[in-house]
Amino acid sequence: MRRNRAEIDASHGKLTRRAALLGGAQLLFMGGLAARMRYLQVDQADQFRLLAEENRINIRLIPPARGEIFDRNGRRLAQNVPSYRIVLVREDAGDVEAVLDRLSTLVELDAETRERVIAEVNRSAPFLPVTVLEDVSWDDVSRVSVNAPALPGITPEVGLARVYPRGQDFAHVVGRVGRVSQADLDALEDPDQVLRIPRFQIGKINVEAREEAVLRGSAGTKQVEVNATGRVMRELSRREGQSGADLQLTVDAHLQGYVQARLDGESAAVVVIDCESGDLAAIASAPSYDPNLFIGGISSADYNPLLNSEYRPLVNKTVQGTYPPGSTFKMMTAMAALEEGLIGPEDTVYCPGHLEVAGRRFHCWKRTGHGRVNLENSLKQSCDVYYYDLAVKVGIEKITAMANRFGLGIKHELALSSVAAGLTPTMAWKLSTRGEAWRVGDTVNSSIGQGFTLASPLQLAVMTARLATGREVTPRLVKSVDGVERPDGLGAALDMNQNNLNKMRKAMHDVVNDRRGTAYRSRIIAEDMRMAGKTGTSQVRNITAAERARGVTKNQDLPWNRRDHALFVCFAPYEAPRYAMSVLVEHGGGGSTAAAPIARDVMLQALAGGDPPLEAYPQGDRERIAEQQERLRALRFGTDGRARDRA
């Protein structure tokens, strides 16, 4: 049917409007697309350029060099040395097993190592290096380098490894490092990213661990270009990190070495403290171990003997071990009574060999008793009954308060692991921990350093330094950090009657230098080195009434672990104290026979700065001491006179 002109014009008008709408929509779409492209290419160009760079450029951490540790005279105790390792890259090696066969003709490569390497290669990306051997010698590196054309994919690398040149002498002081474990990371709230670097090492115990923050330093960074598979193509830039700070300790390496040698064969501890500064000149626990064994992972053959030994070589007895202080505690009981004005120096107590308290008999070590003794004689002869009597008068609260003032029952802050606080008991302590009321018998036992009372060798050395100086001497182990001195530990004067302190010092002098003193056989006869001290013997077993009636079994007739501990505390020179010391010999028997001779030898070494003149010893001891000095020199330095396992 023919349409008229009006219908045709109307139809054309509708088509024109539709075309206009469609064209407008197309223009709008193209305009939006153009705007979006401009936004992405111009406005967001920097951001997308950064994202692209991050896909192409990686930032990697460079481990810092660990700070080194020195003794007070600058001798190295922990140092970094070049460490060589051999690595393998699978994509460069081709036939891995064939390459390992050729490598085994040049360096020792056991079956276990070979299996480990193949397993790691198979689960790693082909371009990632896998460590074949660590801590190889320079000769091994040289052989591998010379034969490089025949060893595709094999490359020697160099890094830094921690070494302890003084070996076992400082295992319980410096400690050791080890690879970062998951437990180490879990223990930190916000672990430093450098800890996630493969094979990175941190301090595990003692100074290495406690001073980790200053020894570690800060990591550097490097920018490397990588391809789509993550392979490093080239290094673009590098920013070196900050090396860790060097530490200087207060310990004298020569004195420490002598003490460790002198304790050879014993389960013992010695602490030597400088009375003028609180510096720990020696802090030795025996037996010890070689911390170098732990660096790359210790073997079961080396670790099991350390773990299972009844002498406990892994334990630092100087600060971790707490023991009944025995008669070395008697000065605290006496000082409490003197400061309270409950006794005078000439007041006497009769000792028949025991004292009845609350229906119980407390025995003196001397079965027949000491007769009438005053303060000086009671300490000189170590009469127990005198202190039983004082304890009843003074009471446990005042005895404990006095012990605390002298550093017992106090945790001293040192850069060592597991420093113990010891125990100076009170009535409230027993009630809260044991649910029992305090008894007067508990006070009597505590008065001679038995019962609940416990102290570490470190605490006993601090106690002795405070007695010797009348000052609140505090132990210090870290002398300086990168040359910046840390505060010393001389401390303020103790708020005590000076006459009472003088009485204690005079009594301790007589313990060593009076013929009736318990340590007379360990005296020093050189006038300018005379020593004052106190012996101690602490029981580790109960003596029954039946055993006492038939005669107490001698220590030498008992199994080693049931013998008494032997203790001795001392200071010298008597007129102007320079050093204070404590000695503990686990299950050594008597303090006068086992601990005091060690203390005299160590004290003379400290005062003389080496082997002392034989004239410092009594005439009858000189031949034996000369032989001992020669034996200890051979033990420390070897028969050729060169330091054994030392830098």
Which region among 46-55, 71-80, 173-182, 338-347 has the lowest average model confidence (pLDDT)?
46-55
User: Residue 284, SS3?
Assistant: strand
Q: Are 350 and 450 in contact (CB under 8 A)?
A: no
Architecture in CATH of 253-301+317-637: 3-Layer(aba) Sandwich (3.40)
Q: Please name which of 577, 580, 594 lies closest in space to residue 536, comparing C-alpha atoms.
A: 594
β 69-70/579-585 pair status: unpaired
Cα–Cα distance measured from residue 149 to residue 351, given in angstroms and rounded to the nearest whole number: 89
Helix axes 440-447, 384-394, angle to 10 degrees: 130
The continuous run of DSSP H or E covering 516 comes out as none
For residue range 395-445, what is the model confidence (pLDDT) as tens digits? 999 999 999 999 999 999 999 999 999 999 999 999 999 999 999 999 999
Q: Which residues, listed in sequence order, are joined to residue 485 by a DSSP beta bridge?
A: 480
- Give the mean model confidence (pLDDT) for residues 149-174: 90
> 488 pLDDT exceeds 80?
yes
Give pLDDT, residue 368. 94
Cα–Cα distance measured from residue 309 to residue 614, given in angstroms and rounded to the nearest whole number: 36
Helix axes 596-608, 253-262, angle to 10 degrees: 160
User: Residue 308, SS3?
Assistant: helix
CA distances from 614 to 176, 177, 353, 570 (A): 38, 41, 39, 20
Give 318's pLDDT tier (boundaries 50, 70, 90).
Answer: very high
Name the phi and psi angles at 577, rounded to 5: -55, 125
Strand intervals (E) in 457-609: 478-481, 484-485, 532-538, 565-572, 579-585
Give 646's pLDDT tier (boundaries 50, 70, 90).
Answer: very low
> 647 pLDDT exceeds 50?
no
For residue range 28-87, what is the model confidence (pLDDT) as tens digits? 777 777 777 776 666 666 655 544 544 567 666 778 889 999 999 999 999 999 888 888
> 645 pLDDT exceeds 50?
no
What length does the chain have? 647
Q: Are 420 and 320 in contact (CB under 8 A)?
A: yes
Cβ burial of 80 (10 Å; 0-12, 13-18, 19+) is: middle
Name the phi and psi angles at 543, rounded to 5: -100, 115
Asked if omega into 287 is within 30° of 0 (cis), the reply is: yes
Give me the active site residues, please.
327
Amino acid identity, position 165: P
Q: Are 504 and 549 in contact (CB under 8 A)?
A: no
Cα–Cα distance measured from residue 546 to residue 4, given in angstroms and rounded to the nearest whole number: 143
Cα–Cα distance measured from residue 611 to residue 646, given in angstroms and rounded to the nearest whole number: 19
Q: Are 591 and 535 in contact (CB under 8 A)?
A: yes
Amino acid identity, position 19: A
Q: Which two tokens stand for residue 113?
A: 């190592």
Q: Which two tokens stand for residue 525?
A: 């006869």
For residue range 113-146, what is the model confidence (pLDDT) as tens digits? 889 889 888 887 776 678 888 888 889 888 988 8
Kindly report the average pLDDT of the chain as a whole number. 89
Sign for the CA dihedral angle at 249, 253, 255, 258 comes to: positive
- Give the mean model confidence (pLDDT) for residues 472-491: 96
Give pLDDT, residue 523. 98
User: Residue 370, SS3?
Assistant: coil
Name the phi and psi angles at 312, rounded to 5: 55, 65
Cα–Cα distance measured from residue 453 to residue 449, given in angstroms and rounded to the nearest whole number: 6
Q: Which two tokens stand for residue 55?
A: 């896909």
Q: Could you count the other beta carbons within 10 Å of the beta carbon of residue 190?
A: 5
Which region among 90-99, 169-178, 209-218, 409-418 has the lowest average model confidence (pLDDT)?
90-99
Residue 194 falls in which region: left (phi positive, over 0), alpha (psi -120 to 50) or beta: alpha
User: Residue 465, SS3?
Assistant: helix
Give pLDDT, residue 6. 64
For residue range 364-378, what is the model confidence (pLDDT) as tens digits? 999 999 999 999 999
Cα–Cα distance measured from residue 224 to residue 572, given in angstroms and rounded to the nearest whole number: 63
- Give the mean model confidence (pLDDT) for residues 154-173: 91
Architecture in CATH of 81-160: Alpha-Beta Complex (3.90)
Q: Which two tokens stand for residue 162?
A: 């921690």
Q: Please name which of 511, 573, 470, 469 lies closest in space to residue 375, comparing C-alpha atoms.
A: 511
Q: Are 50-75+166-249 and 81-160 the same fold in CATH?
A: yes
Helix axes 330-339, 384-394, angle to 10 degrees: 40
Q: Could you count the other beta carbons within 10 Å of the beta carbon of residue 630?
A: 11
The domain ranges of the chain are: 50-75+166-249, 81-160, 253-301+317-637
Fold of 50-75+166-249: Penicillin-binding protein 2a (Domain 2) (3.90.1310)
Radius of gyration of the chain (CA): 37
CA distances from 238 to 58, 67, 199, 426, 446 (A): 12, 21, 21, 62, 64
Give pLDDT, residue 641. 45
Q: Which residues, listed in sequence order, are joined to residue 423 by a DSSP beta bridge?
A: 454
Give pLDDT, residue 514. 97
Give 10's pLDDT tier (boundaries 50, 70, 90).
Answer: low
The continuous run of DSSP H or E covering 87 comes out as strand 76-89
Q: Which residues, listed in sequence order, are joined to residue 235 by a DSSP beta bridge?
A: 224
Q: Please name which of 63, 166, 125, 273 lies closest in space to residue 636, comparing C-alpha atoms.
A: 166
Q: Outline where 200-353 has alpha helix (H).
A: 206-210, 212-216, 253-262, 300-308, 330-339
Give 252's pLDDT tier (boundaries 50, 70, 90).
Answer: very high
Residue 72, C-beta contacts closer than 8 angstroms, at least 6 positions apart: 248, 249, 250, 251, 252, 279, 281, 479
The continuous run of DSSP H or E covering 123 comes out as helix 111-123
CA distances from 142 to 114, 154, 155, 156, 574 (A): 21, 13, 11, 9, 60
> 169 pLDDT exceeds 60?
yes
Give pLDDT, residue 372. 97
What is the residue whose two structure tokens read 């003028």? 276
Give pLDDT, residue 397. 97
The continuous run of DSSP H or E covering 393 comes out as helix 384-394
Which region among 84-88, 352-356, 511-515 has the lowest average model confidence (pLDDT)?
84-88
Q: Are 381 and 330 in contact (CB under 8 A)?
A: no
